Structure 1
Amino acid sequence: MTSETPAVTTPPVRKQRVMSGMRVTGRLHIGHYWGALSNWVQLQEEYECFFGAMDWHGMTTAYKSPKEIAPWTREMIAEFIAWGVDPERSTIFVQSHVPEHLELFMILANLTPMGWLERVNTWKDAIEEMKASDTYNLGRFAYPVLQAADILMYRAQKVPVGADQVAHLEISREIVRRFNHLYKAKLPEMNPLLTEIPLVPGLDGRKMSKSYNNSLFLTEDSEKDLKKKVNMMVTDPARVRREDVGEPTKCSVYGYHKLYSSQEDKEWVEAGCRSAGIGCGDCKGRLAQNIEKMSAGPREKKKELLNSAGQLDSIIAAGSDKARQEAQKTLGIIRSSMKW
């Protein structure tokens, strides 16, 4: 008589956690999509993701008009979902709906030396601008501590950043390292998940920014507005007249084609620009068509979400509740480590 060997079951491998968020400062432009959102959509395939609308961070500069924060936040969450962040696969939350962030911020603030914050370049380099805009405040100064709390709150191992942002993450790592040293804890240090972030210039060739009024919004611009804005974009200065030949790599319009256009269209732009076979208007017209093609679906999805208040509220509440449950676990671990 023989007996079958019982099957050995292997426990599922727990996915590593990713945490990322966007500061709530107004409507999202295409730089937000190519710099973060498009990457988030890919990350949720491989990682356990927590994505936040960081409204307390937004309050550091919008404290004089806080009534704007709530509608901006709802619109941001709608954008996340419209562009492919799936609330069934990722935890989408609003920072202020998880008050544990502030409790952890206070704990970390007490063990963070002032000198660490004073050396942060984003603080030092923007002092004059902050004074001029009346945003030279404690909230902005302590921003890195709240950022560390945001990430540690979910015990995230990975934070998606571009190579130029790695230094910004290091102070969060130092804060967690100090906590672990003081309390003999083993909280995870967050590591950068390097992401290639394309440079998306504004319509005038400068950095895309609301303050410069040079942004292409993700879904706010209608097809007509989109065409108008694309026609305003700066091109290769060598092409003064229609018959002048140009160099696509010197033209910001071509940079947009690399993001939005097919290989066939990019080759058409390259050949036509270098031979003067097409004009800048032709090039911009094709680009506007391709941006609209990519934006039309998300624009409608976002509109549906904002018009279905109950559905959007349910998504926000469910995601924030799930985030809060995880936050409470983390605070339990932290208090236990501190013997508090």
Structure 2
Amino acid sequence: MANEDSPKKRLLTGDRPTGKLHLGHYVGSLANRVKLQDEYDCYILLADLHMLTTKPQKEAIDELRDNIREIVLDYLAVGIDPTKATFYLQSAIHAVYEMNLVFEMLVTLPRLARLPSIKDMARAAKFDEEAVPFGLIGYPVLQAADILMPRAHIVPVGKDNEAHIEITREIARRFNFLYGETFPEPESIIGDIPTLPGTDGKSKMSKSLNNAIFLSDDDATVAKKIKTAYTDPNRISADVPGNVEGNPIFAYHDAFNTDKSEVNDLKDRYRRGAVGDVEVKEKCIAAVNGFLDPVRKRRAEYERDSGLVEQILYEGTLKTQEIANETLKEMKKAMGLAGIWNRISRKARDRIKKSETA
């Protein structure tokens, strides 16, 4: 069902507020959000309920306020315009809780358990196989509620979340089959660079693995992280031919070095054993800091504007609450649940009124 009140199709995306965002977030999703914000009616959620699936501890919840502020500043710094995108707090959208409950009835546990990303998240959170919370297994169902709440048509995600969008599509199809056409089937959009390796060269860039370069890192911190980053362990000197593939430094060059002739030259010389890691890393540092300089500048400007982040979130959340309540109303109407309560309440009010006038 199209959003008849808006000439644009809708986009939904967001992040768990577990800390500042990094370069992997940028190439995986943020770049697409910036690119698409003129074309779509954009909704960006701060997914604090999702955070509870792996971090339910009180100390983690206590950190939410600061983490949410930091992420919104990252959004603004990379160029997401709050006049074009609606930022909102997930836990303040109470209709999503009800939608999540209904959608849980439309998908099986084996279907959810097959998702590799859930297993990866459980391992990252250090959960034993028998101690994985129900909420983590149901993570994609709550994600479906987030996406279908504004009746989103597209979802920019990282490669590891693509399978989750398919779950959303299946739930939308199942609901529409049972109760009538209510939800669109959203499409995922993957970034040009689906996964960015971490500085350790072992896995994707991640806050929890301590291998990330953050969007808010200063020049010196970026330089330190890149200088100590993994390259090719078999290359013991500059005259030994090295591997470009699987080398994080060249992945960063591909993502952030706008001088493609320089990148190609470095790759060629690296493969021939005609350039040292020092030169490759120094030029990588220059490229990454060149990308981050305007991001840092915008971030500092927004950070100085006291109360701006809170106002953006407050106004966006109020707007989203209205949309969510309307979606829930239409959803219950399609299911017939609204009619049941309406009939009960009408008969009850009539009886109460008669007893009062008797």
The bucket for the TM-score relative to the shorter chain is 0.7 to 0.9
SS at match of 2:239: coil
State the match for 2:55 in structure 1. 62
Per the alignment, do residues 285 and 188 of structure 1 end up closer, same or farther by CA in structure 2, a change over 3 Å counting? same
SS at match of 1:210: coil
Deviations 1:214-239 (A, max 9, x none): 111111x2211111110011223343
Per the alignment, do residues 275 and 183 of structure 1 end up closer, same or farther by CA in structure 2, a change over 3 Å counting? closer
* Equivalent-residue separation in structure 2 for 1:117 and 1:275 (angstroms): 47
* Equivalent-residue separation in structure 2 for 1:295 and 1:41 (angstroms): 15
Identical residues among aligned pairs (%)? 34
State the match for 2:96 in structure 1. 101
State the match for 1:270 in structure 2. 267
Aligned: 1:90 with 2:85: yes
State the match for 2:213 in structure 1. 216
* Equivalent-residue separation in structure 1 for 2:5 and 2:101 (angstroms): 36
What is the aligned counterpart of 1:201 among 189, 197, 210? Answer: 197
What is the aligned counterpart of 1:320 among 313, 317, 331? Answer: 317
Aligned: 1:329 with 2:322: no
State the match for 2:254 in structure 1. 258
Question: Once structures 1 and 2 are overlaid, which stretch shifts more, 194-203 or 62-71?
Answer: 194-203
Aligned: 1:45 with 2:41: no
* Equivalent-residue separation in structure 1 for 2:6 and 2:324 (angstroms): 22
Where does the alignment leave 5 or more consecutive residues of structure 1 unmatched? 1-10
SS at match of 1:52: strand
Kindly indicate whether the alpha-carbon contact (under 8 Å) linking 2:12 and 2:147 is maintained by their aligned counterparts in 1: yes
Offset at residue 319 of structure 1 (A): 1.7
State the match for 1:23 in structure 2. 16
Q: What's the TM-score, normalizing by structure 2? A: 0.83
Offset at residue 325 of structure 1 (A): 2.0
State the match for 1:36 in structure 2. 29
Question: Once structures 1 and 2 are overlaid, which stretch shifts more, 304-313 or 163-172?
Answer: 163-172
State the match for 1:156 in structure 2. 152
Offset at residue 307 of structure 1 (A): 3.6
Per the alignment, do residues 58 and 268 of structure 1 end up closer, same or farther by CA in structure 2, a change over 3 Å counting? same
* Equivalent-residue separation in structure 1 for 2:137 and 2:296 (angstroms): 36
State the match for 1:283 in structure 2. 280
Where does the alignment leave 5 or more consecutive residues of structure 2 unmatched? 339-358
Kindly indicate whether the alpha-carbon contact (under 8 Å) linking 1:60 and 1:135 is maintained by their aligned counterparts in 2: no
Question: Once structures 1 and 2 are overlaid, which stretch shifts more, 289-298 or 189-198?
Answer: 189-198
Offset at residue 112 of structure 1 (A): 3.8
- Give the aligned residue type for 2:226: V
Per the alignment, do residues 37 and 135 of structure 1 end up closer, same or farther by CA in structure 2, a change over 3 Å counting? farther
* Equivalent-residue separation in structure 2 for 1:225 and 1:194 (angstroms): 29
Calculate the aligned-residue CA RMSD, in Å: 2.6
State the match for 1:8 in structure 2. none
Deviations 1:64-99 (A, max 9, x none): 121012211111111111101111111122212322
State the match for 1:182 in structure 2. 178
Per the alignment, do residues 245 and 182 of structure 1 end up closer, same or farther by CA in structure 2, a change over 3 Å counting? closer
